Amino acid sequence: MCACMQVGLVREPENRGGWDSNGDGCISKLEWRQVVRKLGSGLQATPDERLDALFDELDTDHGDSLDLKECEAALKRMIADTVKHQGDLTDQLVLVKAMVKPLKQVQQQAMQAWRKLGAPRAYAGVTGAKDVS
C-alpha cells in the first residue's frame, strides 16, 4: 500500500472516487483536477490553469505527481497558515474590543450634546444610538 493511502490522501485503486484513481500510488494532475472539482469546494468552475498552478506549487520535486512527502509538506503548511490566521483573528478581536468602549463613550457624549441642543428624544433612534439618559 502506498504511503499516501496510509494517511488517507489517496484511496485504494478499486475506489474510483478516490484521489489515486489509477492506483499508481501518487496523485497526477488529471486526478487532482477531477477530485478537487468533486469536493464541492467551490472550485468546480475553476479553470484547469488555476488548478494546475496550485498543483505545481504543491509538487515541490516537479515530478508531475504528488507523493507522500509533498502531501505531508502541504498539510503542514496549511496547518501553520491556519494557526497563524487564527492568531491574526485573535489579535484583531482584541483590537476591536479595545475600540468599542471609546466609541460607546463618544456616542454617549454625542447624544448628550444632541439633547443639550434641545433635540427631542424621538430623534435618538435616528442615529442608531440608544437613549443614554
Measured CA to CA in angstroms, residue 57 lies from 11, 82, 133 at distances of 22, 18, 60
Average pLDDT over residues 31-58: 83
The pLDDT mean for the chain works out to 74
Looking at residue 66, what is its pLDDT? Answer: 86
Domain ranges of the chain: 3-97
Give pTM, 2 decimals: 0.49
| CATH architecture, range 3-97 | Orthogonal Bundle (1.10)
| Beta strand segments in the chain, E | 27-28, 65-66
Rounded distance between C-alpha atoms, residue 42 and residue 51, angstroms: 12
Q: Kind and range of the H or E element at 34?
A: helix 29-38
* pLDDT-wise least confident of 29-33, 44-48, 123-127: 123-127
Provide φ and ψ at 55, rounded to 5°. Answer: -55, -45
Of the candidates 109, 111, 105, the one whose C-alpha atom is nearest the C-alpha of residue 128 is 111
Which tens digits make up the pLDDT trace of 23-44? 888 888 998 888 888 876 677 7
